[in-house]
Chains A and B, each alone.
Chain A
Amino acid sequence: MCSVSKASLTVVTAMSLLTNVALAQDKTEKLSGELIIFSDMSNPAPRATMEGMTKRFGEMHPDLEIKLTVIDREAYKTQIRNFLSANPPDVANWYAANRMKPYVEAGLFEDVSDLWEGQISEELGSTKAAMTLDGKQWGVPYTYYQWGVYYRKDVYEELGLLEPGTFAELKSNCQAILDSGRKCFTIGSKFLWTAGGWFDYINMRTNGYDFHAALTGGEIPWTDDRVKATFANWRELIDMGAYVDNHQSYSWQESLPFIVKGEATAILIGNFGVAPMREGGLDDSKLDFYQFPKIAEDVALAEDAPTDTFHIPSGAKNKEAARAFLRFVVSAENQTLINNGKNLGQLPVNANSSVDDDKFLKEGFVMLSANSSGGVAQFFDRDTPAEMASVAMEGLQEFMVLPDNLDDILARLEQARQRIYK
């Protein structure tokens, strides 16, 4: 359990502006009773954001007693199963797309299609598909973030390199970097999912978004030649020695020192990687961002942009207040505020919100809104069923360490696919 602590000064000032606006529209509904919120926003910045957000909501509804419980983000992933059925809160965090499917199918999430009628549908158009299963919406998003290549600008300048626009340029850059005694990419694959990011991108660039969606949806065999083409492209990087050695022993956090110290020059990661790299001393003059370059010429660019969400458990007691909270979360003002650089530092889901004045957020926003015509995927382990994801990501890690095992790995994945998607 946690008590709502003091939000930062900026949040408070922004909030007082905001409540005035919000009060005007919400005055009509008087909420009372208890609102129990379980949240997985346990890292320091998200936690402060969540606490600030509930505090503001509480001030709008003085009769409502809000109880916020913040649970460790990793532990939450297993606890949610217990509390959704045994002791459901009124509002709970989770993830979009396939990750919410088990709970939707088990009838543990409330259908909130009514919230999505009208205005909200327009404002949240970009993420509506990710929240939709069986033609209904099962929650609301509150943030999302781009993936892409974060690189050492100063090293690129020193070597006279430019951001690559094609895979060939990426490889020639990489060769120059290797010749200078550095590694091209750092990655920590101990917890597997980082390898999933690499697969997502190389596959979406080699075969396109639709093929990738069909593959993660289980419609295409893993032994397909097009999948092999993806791995052949990936293997070119592995055989060059583009990745840091022994990445299978590191978590993604443990892989960051390589780029901070300049032993590796880039990392493919979500925007959440920026904060620790800045703390490590990489300011905007040293760190920059580029979209993962084209591989096949005729394939439209598609991106990974994982969406985090709020849901109402079907066993919730105060659904009226929970709906009001969800509406509050996605409102344009709140979205601008909680996604700014002082809070989550991510992209707002509401089209009427403004993106924070941050180099990476702006680039990411432009990339996702103007330069991802192929489509937007969630992420490998959110697009595939959990079981397939765990088998597949293990295979991806094995491929990165022992690329010669590819045929064996693909045969295993195919066997798993036939069993899992029945």
Chain B
Amino acid sequence: MTPTAMPTTEYKKLRSLNKRNEIAITPWLFLAPGVLFFLFYVIFPIFQSFDVSLYQWDGLGEARYVGLANYQELVNDRAFEISLWNNLKWLVLYLLAIPAGLFIALFLNQTVTGIRLYKSLFFFPFVISQIVVGLVFSWFYDPTFGLLNVMLGWVGLGPINVLGDPQTVTYGIIAAGLWPQTAYCMILYLTGLNAVDPEQIEAGRLDGAKGARMLWYIILPQLKPATFIAFVVTIIGALRSFDLISIMTNGGPFGSSRVLSFYMFEKALSEYGFRMGYGAAIAVVLFLIMLVFIAYFLWSMFQEERGR
């Protein structure tokens, strides 16, 4: 199309139409790929899960509509109940990583020779794969040659099989998970501590603040953004605890260390599973739990934005 082929007035009109909408359209164009992928890979599967959870389907043959039967079964399924409680244990105990990370960060936040080395050593567990962490801890807990029982022997305590006892197994795995998670929180706090205003500390010191009071009233408020991020990643980490369970106990003994994500995997995708509908129903429950946290995170971020 050439300008001469069109009356100049009309051409100008079209151009100005483009011009006027440019500002409104451009951001959408740039967002489009991201939005499309997000819709296709995140939003759409969520609704698909809701849909599949209403069917009985082995992934191969015909899907049969069963209404809410899968959810009814969940209510009476003790394995599901155990998984739900274990999820709760994970959520609560995993949060210990935040104070632990904070104290290690405070401890490492000083200038002595080789501090960089110490910092990286403390950060090390976060860098290695969860699978390796799981293996290391299962050797540590091993009932026959594990270091834990050797150490318990020194203080005269009998051998225990942490991962073989349904009472202790979940705590044993959480302890393994806390190791890298603490390192993660530590690094978040270390960067946060860099941003702490020295003038405020000086002022606090002049007013006689020391030790715990200094920490609570002067340092911690300034670390609020780091705490928020640490909280977010820890909650997410707790809800996706899968690899450690898979490598350390495979959900056992007799299913007592399963969490929802692992149970969903077992029911829907493992060797003896392929109950897609039932797996999807578990996934929906897990999603609803996550939704509580997602809503909270979004709400607090929204509050923050508005506060500015």
Binding site for B on A (CB under 8 A): 74, 77-78, 81, 85, 102-103, 105-106, 108, 190-192, 245-246, 248-249, 381, 386-387, 389-390, 394-395, 397-398, 401, 412, 419
Shortest B111–chain A CB gap in Å is: 46
What are 13 A-B pairs at a CB distance below 8 A?
A77-B271, A105-B60, A106-B60, A190-B250, A190-B252, A246-B161, A248-B164, A248-B252, A249-B253, A386-B273, A389-B272, A390-B272, A397-B252
Contact status of A394 and B271, CB under 8 A, knowing A102-B60, A246-B143: no
Q: How far is the CA of A361 from the CA of B144 in the complex (A)?
A: 33
Of A108, A387, A394, which one neighbours B60 at CB under 8 angstroms?
Answer: A108
Per-residue 0/1 for B19-44: is the Cβ within 8 Å of any A Cβ (1 yes, 0 no)?
00000000000000000000000000
Q: Whole-angstrom distance from the CB of B105 to the nearest CB of chain A? A: 35
Given contacts A191-B250, A397-B253, A419-B73, contact A85 B60 (CB under 8 A): yes
**Residues of chain A lying within 8 A (CB to CB) of residue B99:** none
- Name which residue of chain A comes closest to B73, CB basis: A419
Please, which residues of chain A bring their CB within 8 A of the CB of B163? 249
B273 contacts which chain A residues (CB < 8 A)?
386-387, 390
Q: Smallest CB–CB gap between B56 and chain A, Å?
A: 10
Contact B270 A78 (CB under 8 A): yes
- Indicate which residue in B59, B61, B144, B270 contacts A246 across the interface (CB closer than 8 Å): B144
Contact, CB under 8 Å: A390 / B266: yes
Return the CB mask of B139-166 against A: 1 if under 8 Å, else 0: 0001110000000000000000101100
10 closest Cβ pairs, A-B complex:
A390-B272, A398-B254, A106-B60, A248-B253, A246-B143, A386-B272, A249-B164, A77-B271, A246-B161, A248-B164
Are B275 and A387 within 8 A (Cβ)?
yes
* Besides A190-B250, A246-B144, A248-B254, 12 new A-B residue pairs in contact (Cβ under 8 A), listed by A number: A78-B271, A85-B60, A106-B58, A108-B60, A190-B252, A245-B161, A246-B164, A248-B253, A249-B161, A386-B273, A389-B272, A398-B254
**Chain B, 200-256, CB within 8 A of any chain A CB:** 249-250, 252-255
Closest to B256 in A: A398
* A387 close to B164 (CB less than 8 A): no
The yes or no answer to B287 lying at the interface (CB within 8 A) is: no
User: Which residues of chain B have C-beta atoms less than 8 A from A103's C-beta?
Assistant: 60
Interface class of chain A by DSSP: helix
Chain B interface residues (CB < 8 Å from chain A)? 58-61, 73, 78, 142-144, 161, 163-164, 249-250, 252-255, 266, 269-275
Q: Is the CB of A412 within 8 A of B143?
A: no
A353 to B132, CA, bound (A): 46
User: Given A78, A85, A102, A412, which contacts B78 in the complex, CB threshold below 8 Å?
Assistant: A412
B143 and A245 contact, CB distance less than 8 A: yes
Q: Within the assembled complex, what's the spacing in Å between the Cα atoms of A49 and B37?
A: 45
Write out the residue numbers on chain A whose beta carbons fall within 8 Å of the beta carbon of B274: 81, 102, 386-387
Chain B, residue nearest A247 (CB): B164
Q: How far is the CB of B40 from chain A (nearest CB, A)?
A: 19
Closest B residue to A191 by CB, please name it.
Answer: B250
Residues of A within 8 A of B275 (CB): 387
Residues of B within 8 A of A386 (CB): 271-274
Least distance between A154 CB and chain B CB atoms (Å)? 23
Contact of B142 among A74, A85, A106, A249 (CB under 8 A): A249
A392's closest neighbor in chain B, by CB? B272
Is B269 within 8 A of A381, CB to CB? Answer: no
* A387 contact from B143, B250, B272, Cβ within 8 A: B272
Q: Indicate if the CB atoms of B61 and A398 lie closer than 8 Å.
A: no
In angstroms, Cα B274 to Cα A249, docked, is 26
> In the bound complex, what is the Cα–Cα distance between A401 and B144 (angstroms)?
17
Distance (Å) between the CB of B163 and the closest chain A CB? 6
Residues of A within 8 Å of B266, CB to CB, are 390
Give the docked Cα–Cα distance between A77 and B161 (Å): 31
Complex CA distance for A398 and B164, rounded to whole angstroms: 11
List chain A residues, Cβ under 8 A from B60: 81, 85, 102-103, 105-106, 108
Question: Nearest chain A CB to B94's CB is how many angstroms away?
Answer: 23
Q: Which residue of B lies closest to A397 (CB)?
A: B254
Which residues of the partner chain B approach A190 to less than 8 Å between Cβ atoms?
A: 249-250, 252-253
| Distance of A119 from chain B, by nearest CB (Å) | 34
Q: Which residues of A contact B144 (CB under 8 A)?
A: 246
Q: In the complex, which residues of chain A have a beta carbon less than 8 angstroms from the beta carbon of B253?
A: 190, 248-249, 397-398, 401
Residue from the set B252, B255, B266, B270 with the largest chain A CB neighbour count within 10 Å: B252
Asked if residues B269 and A78 are in contact (CB atoms below 8 Å), the reply is yes
Contact (A106, B61) CB under 8 Å given A81-B274, A246-B164: yes
Distance of A113 Cα from B273 Cα, bound (Å)? 29
Distance between Cα atoms of A177 and B285 in the complex (Å): 51
Q: How far is the CB of B285 from chain A (nearest CB, A)?
A: 19
Q: Take A106-B60, A246-B144, A249-B142 as given contacts and tell me if A401 and B271 are in contact as well, using a CB distance cutoff of 8 Å.
A: no
Identify the interface centre among A192, A249, A395: most chain B CB within 10 Å of its CB: A249
A401 / chain B contacts, CB cutoff of 8 Å: 164, 253-254
The residue in chain B whose Cβ has the minimal distance to the Cβ of A244 is B144
| Min CB gap B294→A, angstroms | 30
Chain A residue numbers with a CB within 8 Å of B58 are: 102, 106
* B142 contacts across to A, CB distance below 8 A: 249
When distances are taken between beta carbons in the complex, the residues of chain B under 8 Å from A397 are 252-254
Contacts of B271 in A (CB 8 A): 74, 77-78, 386, 390
Q: For the complex, what is the distance from the CA of A373 to the CA of B275, rounded to whole Å?
A: 37
A74 to B269 CA separation, bound complex (whole angstroms): 13
Complex: how many Å from CA A212 to CA B258? 30
CB <8 Å contact, A249 and B143: yes
In chain B, what residue has the closest Cβ to A192? B252
Measured CB to CB, the closest approach of chain A to B14, in angstroms, equals: 48
Query: A263: nearest residue on chain B (CB-CB)?
Result: B144
Nearest CB of B to A211, in Å? 23
- Chain A residues, CB < 8 A from B143: 245-246, 249
